[in-house]
Structure 1
Amino acid sequence: MAGNEKAKAKAEQAKGKAKEAAGRAVGNERMEAEGRMEGARGDARQAKEKAKDTFKH
């Protein structure tokens, strides 16, 4: 289960970076902001999983 959550975090981070870059390329500030938000959500998910791993061992 933890591996699945880590994969979701990485996917969310990658999707956010792509969306942010696309928004920047076309000059769409809203898309760029949404991409940053998705990336941050992925970062938070990854931090949560790392904390769970730390306390698990």
Structure 2
Amino acid sequence: MDKNRIEGAAKELKGTIKEAAGKLTGNKKLEAEGKGEKIAGEAQSTVGKGIDAVKGALK
């Protein structure tokens, strides 16, 4: 498994937690930061999946 997938999943989780905390406390800035981290994590995870697919195809 590519490290981007792992790091991306961690960012996505962190973003989800931040977003939820922002919603819970009414902190729009924290909520927006969480959404941004979540999207960045999803993108990084997708890159990792692509790398894994290429590695698998080359085997």
Query: 1:26 maps to which residue?
Result: 25
Q: How far is the alpha carbon of 1:5 from its aligned partner?
A: 2.6
Q: Sequence identity of aligned pairs in percent?
A: 38
Q: How far is the alpha carbon of 1:56 from its aligned partner?
A: 1.5
Relative contact order, CA 8 A, sep 6+: which one is greater? 2
Q: How far is the alpha carbon of 1:55 from its aligned partner?
A: 1.4
| Structure 1 segment 1-57 matched on structure 2, within 5 A | 2=2, 4-57=3-56
Gaps of 5+ in 1: none
Runs of 4+ in 1 over 4 A off after TM superposition: none
TM-score, normalised to structure 1's length? 0.87
**2 CA distance for matches of 1:6 and 1:51?**
9
Q: How far is the alpha carbon of 1:26 from its aligned partner?
A: 0.6
Q: Return the index of the structure with the highest Cα Rg.
A: 2
| 39-48 or 5-14, larger mean C-alpha shift | 5-14
